[in-house]
Structure 1
């Protein structure tokens, strides 16, 4: 007898075997087992045979079901363990040794968000809450909770592909702007369940980029209310989001205007175009005198641009061969552009290209400066995100296989600014002297990056 079964279990198994063979018509086999086991007909009559008839099949099928259930539970356990590894206080405490000023995203993504039905074109982080907006060629905008990895709501109003989204404006910088191939810009209010509060028509072709202009735009009275848009109609428009009026139109590009990036103080705006140029505009000047610089270094469509923050000045000035970096109070000293020629160009605002970064194998789609100032991040149609170390002359120090298809957009979560009255030390805040004044806000860098892809997924990378 098997050592695995008790005598009673063995007896039930034997009787089940005999009953199964009898019910299937294998009478000689059943008789042979009965004789081998010395089971008399009196102890295994017709009624007993009927009792054990289906037992073997029931046991067999229940074992298969249990095996499947065990496999499902094992998979679920692995998923939960992964979440615990990424979210528990102990794991976070173990990772607290990372420095936000030098943190870089690494695989795998913390969350892969799936709901869009067509390629994702744009993403934007809410400046305060744990919300992330994504726009897609499926004409919808989806709002996600990036801390939980869950879909919160879907916004439907555009009739063609959504090409860009951005948070900002009045009401505490928390309006959401979107633009589309349907020629319109739409404003949504997160405080009112993302109600579509205004539609801005005016462009004559697809609107490819929208960016809120930070308050303090050259002392303009409308600071905080301004929104810039770029279009395939070759123009840039500046809007007052409180009234919906188009305040000015900036012509100059010879082809489709692809992207926009305002300076931190709101005075300057850089744009890129299919005319293979980038242009810098002074929004404090009248339209006829607004164009201040044209950057001509790419051999193909210039897809994206980004003004460098003041934290990058020590590294970029060294690359430029300067002995002393520009003052951190200056908001427009350097900028980067990326194009379909697979190159990233870093310019000083006088038009000089100080560095060309090579490494991507396909069109470059988005650029993001690390808030700590040491790195530049880029994404491209080669499915990767690349991290370039400015302290090492722009050397590529990390390549992230970020998606299964083209990576179309990339954003770093905006920093949180806290009251520095209690935190400013040695008369400095965020590396900038405060001249004894300790009420300057202190920047708290969030280690949080998101990208969107043609593979229909939004991916969240976090510390």
Structure 2
């Protein structure tokens, strides 16, 4: 090709969250060409067998077909309704497969751009998790373990009875993935944030949605309740909004971040709100005035979550730079950096109560990572006390129970796991019943390998 000046060998293509595809001369280490056109991160690329055509899958929900001889995009494939995370060519060089977070696999004719087939049935992911602050509720029928809520990419919220591990309610109404959930301080209301750009408010005891909050212009990633019942939300539209829940109206709009807002949290007094953003900063907001009173910088990549300590003096953050940091939010000083995760860190939480016996100096935090682990850290020493393993996919959320004895984690392996804070052991695995749960397909004739894999993912036994 023109890029290789006489052969296909020695050329490497790479894709990036900077929305570009680059071609490199391996021998010289030089960038030969940059392709632009995607409007979001590029997650996957693949050459056809001849090396003349390149396909790219992106967070902008499209697949682009590139002619490597002319360096032009010759076709854009539309059809997926969420990020395209993987693409591959078949051996004939013309048929292309795309895998997306919309839970489908699509087969395309790369020459015509026609979608030849769509496979449904990819199982859904457990994403956010939250414990009810009230340990006893009517839902638990007198049980002593309270309830847990988890959000999922199947557009539902599951309510779990912790003592039994049973899913006791499924809340439906959102039109897309659910990325954030939060209980009100009295445990009676649950808020959910979705990629359908809305926030829904649910009555926990009935499972009914009583309010839909609309106003964000992009995905809503996070929600948090103020002690007085006001709700805060953070969105990909770079704003934090404060909502009057009773009236369903936005009462304040906080602007300043230059990229998506992934996490928000109130301190214990409700006077301070913190927001974590893909712009690599944390902003501290005065709740009464809506003014930004501090910008905290120090992470080398996107900041995904933020949490206040029980005494409201310390702030914890986590980032795709693979670290967890503790801050004095009033001065902006970084007090400690926790290193150990081997991939992005998506969630961090403080224990509400120092464990008994307490850590030396008191206090622990937990973090959840793309490396499929939950880590429990000693705040004073910075040491990792436990590495909780068992999830088989990235862990996107972590939270403590109100008594501080238990940790819940949500993962893209479709499960919520319950961990013992003191031992780091998994006490329970919560999984919603799947479409073919328990169906025995051992010995069934006529099933392809792909069909068997799909049925297994949906609960079938082989």
What's the TM-score once normalised by structure 1's chain length?
0.47
Which structure is higher in RCO with an 8 Å CA cutoff and minimum separation 6?
1
Return the structure number with greater strand share: 2
Return the structure number with greater helix share: 1
